[in-house]
Amino acid sequence: MTEAVLEARDISYCYTDGVPALRQVSFCVEQGECVVILGANASGKSTLLHLLDGLYFPTKGSILVLGVELTEETVETPPFSREFRSQVGFLFQNADAQLFCNTVAEELSFGPLQLRLDSGEIEQRVDGILELFGISHLRERSPQTLSGGEKKKVALASVMVTGPTMLLLDEPTGGLDPRSQRWLVELIKELQTADKTLVIATHDLSIVEEIAGRVLVLSEDGRLVAQGPPTTILDNTELLLSANLIHEHVHAHGEVSHRHPHGHYLGHRHPHQSHEA
């Protein structure tokens, strides 16, 4: 049996103003697994990733990463704090918040520097990651001069440069053009081949079946309403509708108009079951 590297035990989280974001969520992630968290806007996906990265702490329940419970004390105390930060990488939804240094090169060396790697190793890693992402030409550019797609690439590169075994990606395809999106999907598949553990929060259904080993669905009130293989989840129209992941749609074929659920996964797929003249 494969070992669970990440475990959420009945976690709930409320914002400081008392508004609940997550309610009694429990799941496990195994080594090398790619888990996609699906949910509409404000369903708590980003909050859940912040909790898994030890940036927020649950109001109730507990989170275990690599067998250690994440608390303010464990996350801030060496040697676990350093091991945890080097093992777990988090791509934020807002790339602008993640890119706070003056140049791309400085951005990429920030993480390794904080982990006290030696300068030769840092240089080697930065060069390697720039080449892998095809962004060597951006090396001395300021992040504020980059396009949205370039910012996303640099942000992901800055996370991967520390060599984490577990990656938490918050809306990784957000703001990417189709070619960059395809490139990212291929990269995620490559990471899976390299036995990296991935937890990806998204509401982009088009990439789910291709990358996910398992899918978790969060309802709009922050509950885990389903988990299972991607095909099972994506075929459950009622579930996707109730979680606000697909929408109802009206269109006409000549004299006949259809009303049916509609989502952009696997191309432009929808059943034609209701007909009105």
Question: Which residues form the interface with other proteins (CB under 8 A)?
Answer: 50, 53, 55, 76, 81-82, 85-86, 89-90, 92, 94, 96-103, 106, 109-111, 113-116, 119, 142-145, 158-159, 162, 237-238, 241, 248, 259-261, 271, 273-274
Residues 181 and 207 sit within 8 Å (Cβ to Cβ): yes
For 27, the 3-state DSSP assignment is strand
Comparing CB distances to other proteins, the nearer of 101 and 225 is: 101
Shortest Cβ distance from residue 2 to other proteins (Å)? Answer: 26
Comparing CB distances to other proteins, the nearer of 55 and 189 is: 55
Shortest Cβ distance from residue 259 to other proteins (Å)? Answer: 4
Comparing CB distances to other proteins, the nearer of 155 and 224 is: 155
Closest CA to 206 of 232, 178, 170: 178
Comparing CB distances to other proteins, the nearer of 111 and 230 is: 111
| Cis ω for the linkage preceding 172 (within 30 of 0) | no
Residues 135 and 183 sit within 8 Å (Cβ to Cβ): no
Comparing CB distances to other proteins, the nearer of 2 and 16 is: 16
Phi and psi at 42, nearest 5°, equal 65, 25
Reported for 76-84, long-range contacts at CB under 8 A and 24+ positions apart, including other chains, are: 82/115, 84/54
For residue 35, give the H/E element and its range. strand 34-38
Shortest Cβ distance from residue 265 to other proteins (Å)? Answer: 16
